[in-house]
């Protein structure tokens, strides 16, 4: 099982997809948004959710990841934001 660190996690789309393959296990999320953190904690109650990436240190991780994913901010393009991503 490959260990994944999910950066800029949003509500966990990368981890959801990777874990569905049964080859990946998420060891931690890094997400600064309070709402997204609540969603992550609900669906992954045993996985640490770390806040601001600028404050995350290697020793904060429960295990060394094999894979690191990072989500592109969707707020500029989605209905959750102002949809001015191309501006």
Is 36 an annotated catalytic residue?
Answer: no
The catalytically annotated residue of 32, 61, 74, 75 is 74
Tell me the CA distances in angstroms from 7 to 20, 31, 59, 84, 87, one per residue in order.
18, 7, 16, 23, 25
For residues 7 and 68, the answer to whether their CB atoms sit within 8 Å is yes
Catalytic residues: 74
């Amino acid at each position: 099982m490959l260990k994944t660190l999910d950066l800029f996690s949003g509500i966990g789309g990368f981890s959801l997809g990777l874990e569905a393959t049964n080859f990946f296990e998420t060891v931690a999320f890094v997400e600064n948004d309070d709402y997204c953190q609540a969603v992550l904690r609900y669906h992954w109650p045993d996985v640490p959710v770390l806040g601001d990436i600028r404050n995350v240190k290697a020793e904060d991780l429960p295990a060394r990841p094999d894979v690191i994913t990072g989500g592109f901010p969707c707020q500029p393009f989605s209905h959750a934001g102002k949809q001015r991503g191309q501006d």
